[in-house]
């Protein structure tokens, strides 16, 4: 089990409050985790059942912005 904090920022670097964030996990028992909204710091946290060798996808406001291995903190930029 991993905890991943996703931070969503605008191109200017300003945090995006209330951004819709979802995570897709791989594998037979993978799938979408519940969509969450970011807080005033542009952050939200997910508890994911993946290993360090599984790739995940992070979506913000409907666009895929991260497709790589999980890390404890992931920052994505929305346009």
Domain spans, the chain: 2-77
- pTM for this predicted structure: 0.91
Q: What's the pLDDT tens digit per position in 17-39?
A: 999 999 998 866 668 888 999 99
Q: What's the pLDDT tens digit per position in 28-69?
A: 666 888 899 999 999 999 998 888 888 999 999 999 999 999
How far apart CA 46 and CA 60 sit, in angstroms, is 13
Q: Which helix (H) or strand (E) holds 58?
A: strand 56-60
Helix ranges, 21-65 (H): none
Tokens 């409907």: give the residue.
62
The CATH H-level (homologous superfamily) assignment of domain 2-77 is Immunoglobulins (2.60.40.10)
- Comparing C-alpha atoms, which of 31, 34, 37, 32 is closest to residue 8? 37
* 30 or 75, higher pLDDT: 75
């Amino acid at each position: 089990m991993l905890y991943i904090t996703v931070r969503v920022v605008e191109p200017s670097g300003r945090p995006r409050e209330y951004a819709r964030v979802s995570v897709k996990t791989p594998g037979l028992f993978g799938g979408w985790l519940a969509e969450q909204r970011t807080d005033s710091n542009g952050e939200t946290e997910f508890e994911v059942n993946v290993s360090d060798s599984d790739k995940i996808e992070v979506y913000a406001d409907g666009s895929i912005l991260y497709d790589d291995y999980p890390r404890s903190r992931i920052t994505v930029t929305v346009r």
